[in-house]
């Protein structure tokens, strides 16, 4: 197991306790570095700065699973991983609270113009004034993207006295007194604060630019804690300089430094009432520990018991814990008759099936079969010889 990017020690402890040899590194790796490092590696753990391309996977003959110790998985070529039978897991919920608390802090800080207040104090300037400083109570927060983070932000913001409106391309259950807006333009026209919480799918690249900033209310506040590539930062700079946007907070950027200490470049540097943070929305000790525990558990269960529960690219099968029996995991091409073929082979070899769990996803199917006693080499060989087989693995309790 190779873990990159300072993944929390609880992941190391979980995997080592399960019998894995774990190497932990503090930095990300380039494509060439991964190509050199991955032969012999069974499982890989990354965060957002390590990119897994098809070329990398072509040079990772022993790799069975990738754990993204973060929310997003757009840094991994998921289709290429699925084609090679490599499972990919992430932590879609573990840092939700941490991101929401940062956004709440930013809303208050920008409304009170705290960034420029503290800068002046550090410069030795006493500027005790209420000019441009407002309470957030009674203001309207517009949430773009009403998933796990958006809904929790909605709940906390409403408890603080903010009116909440939201827009999402998917049907979402509204929380509390939040109001659904049927278009993004309608949300922009009404919101005093706009906060983005969309995912990293390719269709979201550049969705927020000059046209959207023009449609925001004069002197409104803009926050992006979602993905750097969704926002045109040059356009945002112009609207801040013109005074149309009163303040902004960004935690994610189109281009981010790969290594600690590298220079950060952005057209937003040096602007008044702008908060720039280095992609730390989910970087609390609580969130990182939970992510480390969650993703390492998924990797462990996949490797030792064949569970693909919450995999983002393979069929989702969550069999019970393997306690007394033997188990076969069969990833195959999703065509009619494969399950019957599996069971006919097992029956012909006298194998008694005690439990079976199947799921399909696109062009792939995955069946986990629990059996009593030992599975013969003849049965294994016949299953491996099937023209539909991607991989076959077996486990004993």
* Catalytic site residue from 8, 113, 139, 279: 279
Q: Which of 139, 227, 327, 332 is catalytic?
A: 227
CA dist., res. 195 & res. 105, Å (int) = 13
Whether 11 contacts 296, CB under 8 Å? yes
Q: Is residue 226 within 8 Å of residue 198, measured between CB atoms?
A: yes
How far apart CA 91 and CA 224 sit, in angstroms, is 20
Given 158, 190, 238, 256, the catalytic residue: 256
Whether 289 sits among the annotated catalytic residues: the reply is: no
- Sign of the torsion formed by the C-alpha atoms of 300, 303, 309 and 314: positive
Cα 252 from Cα 230, distance rounded (Å): 10
**E strand residue ranges, the chain:** 2-3, 23-24, 43-46, 65-68, 87-89, 140-144, 163-167, 179-180, 193-196, 220-224, 245-250, 274-276, 326-333, 352-361, 364-372, 389-396
The token pair that represents 94 in the structure block: 């573990």
Reported as type and span, the H/E element at residue 214 is: helix 210-215
Burial class (CB in 10 A: 0-12, 13-18, 19+), 39: exposed
Angle CA 195–201–202, to nearest 5: 110
**Does the active-site annotation cover 59?**
no
State the catalytic residues.
227, 256, 279
């Amino acid at each position: 197991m190779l873990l990159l990017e300072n993944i929390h020690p609880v992941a190391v402890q979980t995997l080592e306790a399960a019998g894995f040899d774990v190497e932990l590194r503090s930095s990300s790796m380039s494509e060439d570095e991964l190509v050199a490092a991955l032969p012999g590696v069974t499982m890989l753990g990354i965060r957002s700065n390590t990119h897994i391309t098809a070329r990398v996977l072509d040079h990772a003959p022993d790799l069975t699973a990738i754990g993204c110790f973060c929310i997003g998985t757009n840094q991994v070529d998921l289709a290429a991983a699925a084609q090679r039978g490599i499972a990919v897991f992430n932590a879609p919920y573990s840092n939700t609270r941490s991101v929401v608390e940062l956004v709440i802090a930013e809303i208050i800080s920008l409304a009170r113009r705290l960034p420029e207040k503290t800068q002046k104090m550090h410069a030795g300037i006493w500027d005790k004034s209420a000019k441009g400083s407002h309470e957030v109570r009674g203001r309207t927060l517009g949430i773009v993207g009403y998933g796990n983070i958006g809904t929790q932000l909605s709940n906390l913001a409403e408890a603080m006295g903010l009116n909440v409106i939201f827009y999402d391309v998917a049907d979402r259950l509204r929380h509390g007194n939040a109001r659904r807006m049927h278009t993004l333009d309608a949300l922009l026209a009404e919101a005093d604060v706009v906060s983005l919480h969309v995912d990293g799918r390719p269709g979201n690249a550049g969705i927020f630019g000059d046209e959207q900033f023009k449609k925001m209310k004069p002197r409104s506040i803009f926050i992006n804690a979602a993905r750097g590539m969704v926002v045109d930062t040059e356009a945002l700079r112009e609207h801040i300089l013109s005074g149309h946007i009163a303040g902004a907070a960004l935690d994610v950027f189109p281009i981010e430094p790969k290594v600690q200490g590298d220079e950060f470049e952005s057209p937003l540097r040096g602007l008044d009432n702008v908060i720039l943070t280095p992609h730390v929305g989910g970087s609390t000790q609580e969130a990182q520990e939970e992510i480390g525990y969650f993703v390492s558990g998924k990797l462990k269960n996949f490797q030792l018991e064949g569970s693909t529960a919450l995999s983002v690219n393979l069929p989702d099968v969550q069999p019970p814990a393997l306690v007394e029996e033997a188990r076969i995991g069969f990833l195959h091409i999703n065509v009619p008759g494969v399950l019957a073929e599996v069971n006919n082979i097992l029956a012909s070899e006298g194998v008694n099936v005690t439990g079976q769990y199947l799921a399909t996803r696109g062009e792939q199917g995955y069946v986990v079969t629990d059996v009593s006693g030992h599975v013969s080499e003849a049965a294994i060989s016949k299953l491996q010889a099937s023209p539909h087989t991607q991989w076959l693995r077996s486990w004993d309790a």
